[in-house]
Amino acid sequence: MHTDRRPGAPTVRAVREHGDPALAPILARALAHAGAEPRATHGWHTYPAGLHPDAAADLLAAFPGHVHDPFCGGGTVLVEARLAGRTASGTDLSPIACLVANARTAQPALASPMRAAARRLAEAARQRVEVEVPEECVRWYEPHVAQELGRLRDGIRAVEDAAVRDLLWALLSSIVIKASYRQSDTKNVREPHHRPPGTTAILFHKKARELGRMLEELPEGPSPRLRRADARDVGPPPGTRLVVTSPPYPGVYDYLPMQQLRYAWLGITPGREMAAELGSRREFRSKGRAEALQRWRKDNAAWIATQARGLEKGGYFAVVVGDGLVGDRLVDALQPTSLAMEEAGLVVRARASADRPDHAREAIRIEHLVLGWKPD
């Protein structure tokens, strides 16, 4: 599922349409996008399981009004809303998701002070002043790399302007995996390699210049309203005409724990959030399939009910869901999602479904884009 939607994903094979003949082709087209789409700020910070930017763009073009993404992740829908001049809002349980989505949709005016601060911090990080390194990070970095990251962290803490400071935290977050021995965001495998001294600070500054350039190319317009929240509890703001989202697929990822290196460097302690993560892989492993599935169905119904309640009458509700994978068995997400939408008072108007080969796990999993409508 999600991995397949990353830029560079294999082309979707068969896309099937169901329901309203005017709406289903829009969904089919949105679901069929694959391959790299490096525009705007999308590629600037990795975030697992991103929606394809063109899918978000298609849905925004087809359905008007304020858009809300309750599982906004790295902010794909929110960036597309900014590009389309639309007002938008989003929530996510993950503090890293909120940090990334905020940086990707920040105002162009912040680019210059952010760059200046990053240049200063990068210079200071190359001075040999011994700093404290979080214990859980030690084995993941060459000692001089950890020292450079620690100096950057200490420098960021001292920045007074909160908006600039948030962008600097996002910059640090964008390099902590690349500078580490960890294979990738989603692969917790240690792969030692050498980084020459000074290059981590240089990378930080490079990422600042890159983000600055991207932000300066974003159109004028309001930044989305972002909030760290549980989608089961916090719905869209009044006036929302469109929900576009892609919730976690059951048993596929552990979104919150996979960010542990970032938490350590950024001084974040995700406490209660860990337990509130929907459909996590660890829950399926620890509780077993039947019990975890039951909880996922309940949680799925809860977030759908909360979001549908806040949607304006006549508004649309587009959800990308896919088969989960527990062990080597698929978990159907479509039926419980469609049912929960109907129970929440939405009319399921159309759907598109596509086969996505999951090469990593040698499986074909089906992904669906389901469109609900709230009756007037």
Ligand X SMILES: C[S@@+](CC[C@H](N)C(=O)[O-])C[C@H]1O[C@@H](n2cnc3c(N)ncnc32)[C@H](O)[C@@H]1O
According to CB under 6 A, which one of 28, 67, 278, 370 is a site residue for ligand X? Answer: 278
Is 204 a binding residue for ligand X by CB under 6 A? The answer is: no
| CA–CA dist 265, 12 (Å, integer) | 38
Rounded distance between C-alpha atoms, residue 103 and residue 169, angstroms: 9
- CA gap 366, 323 in Å, rounded: 6
Q: Specify the stretch interacting with ligand X by CB under 6 A; choose among 93-101, 104-112, 124-132, 235-243.
A: 93-101
CB-neighbour burial class of residue 235 (10 A; exposed 0-12, middle 13-18, buried 19+): buried
- The candidate with the shortest Cα–Cα distance to 121, out of 203, 3, 210, is 203
- From the CB of 146, what's the least distance to ligand X, in Å? 26
Cβ of residue 232: shortest distance to ligand X, in angstroms? 6
Question: Cβ of residue 224: shortest distance to ligand X, in angstroms?
Answer: 13
**Residue of the chain from 26, 57, 59, 93 that contacts ligand X (CB under 6 A):** 93
As measured in angstroms, the least distance from the Cβ of 77 to ligand X is 6
185 binds ligand X (CB under 6 A): no
Q: Which stretch binds ligand X (CB under 6 A): 9-17, 162-170, 274-282, 335-343?
A: 274-282
Q: Nearest approach, Cβ of 128 to ligand X (angstroms)?
A: 37
Contact between 237 and 91 under an 8 Å Cβ cutoff? The reply is: no
Residue of 142, 169, 136 whose CA lies nearest to 154:
169
74 binds ligand X (CB under 6 A): yes
| Least distance (Å) between residue 376 CB and ligand X | 28
Q: Could you say whether residue 232 binds ligand X (CB under 6 A)?
A: yes
Among 23, 34, 44, smallest CA distance to 354 is for 34
94 or 180: CB nearest ligand X: 94
Among 97, 176, 214, 243, binds ligand X (CB under 6 A): 97
- Tell me which residue has its CB nearest to ligand X: 73
Q: Find the part of the chain contacting ligand X (CB under 6 A) among 13-21, 201-209, 270-278, 364-372.
A: 270-278
**Any contact of residue 358 with ligand X (CB under 6 A)?**
no
Under the binding rule (CB under 6 A), the answer on residue 223 touching ligand X is no
Q: How many angstroms from the chain centroid is the CA of residue 131?
A: 31
- Considering only residues 44 through 63, tell me which ones interact with ligand X, judged by CB under 6 A: 47, 49-51
User: 356: which DSSP letter?
Assistant: E
Interior CA angle at 102 toward 322 and 341, to 5°? Answer: 30
Distance of closest approach, residue 223 Cβ to ligand X, in angstroms: 16
- Let me know: does 175 contact 204? Beta carbons within 8 Å: yes
CB atoms within 10 A of CB 132: 10
* Binders in 239-258 for ligand X, by CB under 6 A: 246-248, 255
CB–CB of 265/154 below 8 Å?
no
| 370, two tokens | 């389901």
Of residues 341, 333, 320, the one with CA closest to residue 250:
333
